[in-house]
Amino acid sequence: MAEFLQFLISGLTVGAVYALVALGFTLIYNASGVVNFAQGEFVMLGGMVTVFTFAAGVPLPLAALFAIVVSIVVGLLLHRLAIEPARGASAVTLIIITIGASILLRGVAQIVFDKQFHKLPAFTGDAPVDIMGAAVQPQSFWVLGGAGVVVLGLYVFLEHTVLGKAVLATAANRLAARLVGINTTTIMALAFGGSAAIGAVAGILVTPITLTSYDVGTLLALKGFAAAMLGGMGNPLGAVVGGLLLGLLEAFGAGYLSSTYKDAFAFLVILIVLFAAPQGLFGRRVVERV
């Protein structure tokens, strides 16, 4: 039971990070139709900027805030300088642009920071908390709680503010949104900024547990993308469930089956899910008009 609980909590913690990355994917995908492979770099930026600002003597909360602001600026620049000029290009061209952006951001991080692994102190100490025999790092609660706040905040924003509804309208039908007077370019910029902020938060929360370096983004983007697809592309709820599910699959797969094949286990399940439900778990069936 203690073992089960241990795997459950570590799975949920990792899953919460995947969920945040997947949520970032979904936000950008809904507003602009772009699959942003640079999403993982926001997580890297969040962690790395915090580490280096903190090391320079800035208090941790301020350093974290600064990292979020930097990430948002990078997100806005990405939209303005790389995505906006290529408007109307095919989906695969846009994907290659975001891949280029992720290589570029990694290159910049490698110059501005370094190639070492870095750690942040846990927000509230390192003493593990005992929950029915499972030893849980306090930072896990920060990750889970932080992810919960972000998800809730995003939900309130999308459902209960005019701007949020404009985002939903743009996601539903870009042309119709423009016809009713929504500035879809602003909405897209907002999505890129918001998505960058979500990624940065994930990076800051998880760095005390998993460490960070200039190249952590690739694997996270891959897992986030997988989580988003598992839940059904374009569905925020699906992204969160997909992320948590992926984290749990990895934790239990590593714990009970084989730790070397934990990634294999997750992807195997994704393949099986897609064979059974080609639109993901919560995806809508797309009706193709001819």
Which residues of this chain interact with another protein, rule CB under 8 A?
35, 82, 85-86, 89-93, 96-97, 99-108, 110-111, 218, 222, 225-226, 229, 233, 260-261, 263-264, 267-268, 270-271, 274-275, 278-280, 286, 288, 290
**Which residues, 6+ apart, have CB-to-CB distance to 30 below 8 Å?**
167, 168, 170, 171, 191, 234, 236
Which of 89/149 has CB closer to another protein? 89
Which of 162/290 has CB closer to another protein? 290
Which of 97/248 has CB closer to another protein? 97
For the CB of residue 101, give the shortest distance to another protein in the complex, in Å.
6
Instruction: Measure the CA–CA gap between 132 and 5, rounded to whole angstroms.
Output: 8
Please name which of 4, 6, 15, 8 lies closest in space to residue 205, comparing C-alpha atoms. 15
Which of 33/133 has CB closer to another protein? 33
For the CB of residue 152, give the shortest distance to another protein in the complex, in Å.
27
212 three-class SS = strand
Instruction: Measure the CA–CA gap between 155 and 228, rounded to whole angstroms.
Output: 17
**Which residues, 6+ apart, have CB-to-CB distance to 67 below 8 Å?**
45, 46, 47, 48, 49, 50, 53, 200, 203, 204
**Which residues, 6+ apart, have CB-to-CB distance to 164 below 8 Å?**
156, 157, 158
For the CB of residue 191, give the shortest distance to another protein in the complex, in Å.
17
For the CB of residue 290, give the shortest distance to another protein in the complex, in Å.
5
Instruction: Measure the CA–CA gap between 79 and 92, rounded to whole angstroms.
Output: 16
Matching residue, tokens 């539903």: 172
Matching residue, tokens 């919460």: 16
Matching residue, tokens 């940065």: 200
For the CB of residue 123, give the shortest distance to another protein in the complex, in Å.
32
DSSP state of 161: S
For the CB of residue 283, give the shortest distance to another protein in the complex, in Å.
8
Which of 143/233 has CB closer to another protein? 233
For the CB of residue 225, give the shortest distance to another protein in the complex, in Å.
6
Which of 104/237 has CB closer to another protein? 104
For the CB of residue 53, give the shortest distance to another protein in the complex, in Å.
22
Which of 92/179 has CB closer to another protein? 92
Instruction: Measure the CA–CA gap between 176 and 270, rounded to whole angstroms.
Output: 34
Please name which of 250, 184, 177, 191 lies closest in space to residue 12, comparing C-alpha atoms. 250
**237 neighbors 148 (Cβ within 8 angstroms):** no
Which of 125/278 has CB closer to another protein? 278
